[in-house]
Amino acid sequence: MPICIPDTLPAVDVLRNENIFIMSSSRAKSQEIRPLKVLFLNLMPKKIETENQFLRLLSNSALQIDIQFLRIDQRTSKNTPTEHLNSFYCDFENIKAQNFDGLIITGAPLGKVAFDEVVYWPQLVEIISWAKEHVTSTLFVCWAVQAALNVLYGLPKMTRQQKLSGVYAHNITNPQAPLTRGFDDTFLAPHSRYADFPSDVIREKTDLMILAESKITGAYLMATKDKRMAFVTGHPEYDSYTLANEYFRDIHAGINPTLPENYFPENNPEFEPKAKWRSHAYLLFSNWLNYYVYQLTPYDLNTRDLTID
């Protein structure tokens, strides 16, 4: 089954041109199926680009998914038209009384910003705490992982001296875990972050299971034992050109970035990069939807207490 999104969302045309199966909201209403309700908190500046990336991965599932976009920053966006935000995004006040099957919180370019200096930090803390009672399973991505570790476990902000940028190999640490079911023993995933996630700190300071890691990136994939929270420290949703776009953007801004590792052919930025992580990304999101959301969530979201002890 496809993802269900508004008929006029820009992603509709983009994904259909890629031969990805989506369903407009008008068509979905005619089916007698209880779709999964997934809330999507988009913290990235280029929201339309991020929508396309995540919706692409969510589409590769046998489940029908009803996506609700959420925003918490009311400032005028420099990268996304106000009309788009007003048409497709809701405010937290409008949905906080509801329950959801899943919640995805994206990364944000805030690697060097202290938590208490983030404009919407109080609202994000509220949403992460709210999710424990109102969401069956929450998926945190990149910077959102750092934020969640602080809110849920009291971990201080850990920052790398040099930005981690490139495509890295990771090893499975628990091949029996549902979230890594079907993964290769070693798989590739992109990273673009200043945030640091040392595996030894995660093991010492939290009760999280580390499901995949590497010596270079640290912990990559983590989860709570009850499957109610999952954490991905990289960017499996990235398109083949996303790291290149970031690299050239930083060059033009005079930042003098390091070349993304294991990304450009022959380490030459004049050569076209190829995505080597796409199959992993699709499988990761499919496993999360199936084993962490669908298998746990009640048919009627209002009939079960979702509180995490």
List residues with catalytic annotation: 142, 235, 237
Residue 77 counted as an annotated binding residue: no
Q: Give me the DSSP letters along 177-202.
A: SGGGTT--SEEEEEEEEEE---HHHH
Q: Tell me, what DSSP letter sits at residue 259?
A: P
268: tokens are 């030459």
Could you tell me if 109 and 30 are in contact, meaning their C-beta atoms sit under 8 angstroms apart? no
Q: What is the DSSP letter of 261?
A: B
What is the token pair recorded at 238?
């990235």
How many Cβ atoms sit within 10 Å of the Cβ of residue 220? 25
DSSP secondary structure string for all residues of 68-94 = EEEE---SPPSSS-HHHHHHHEEEHHH
**Is residue 249 a known part of a binding site?**
yes
Annotated binding residue 163? yes
Distances (CA, A) of 245 to 195, 206, 241, 254, 259: 20, 35, 6, 14, 12
> Residues at the annotated binding site for substrate?
163, 192, 249
> Residues at the annotated binding site?
163, 192, 249
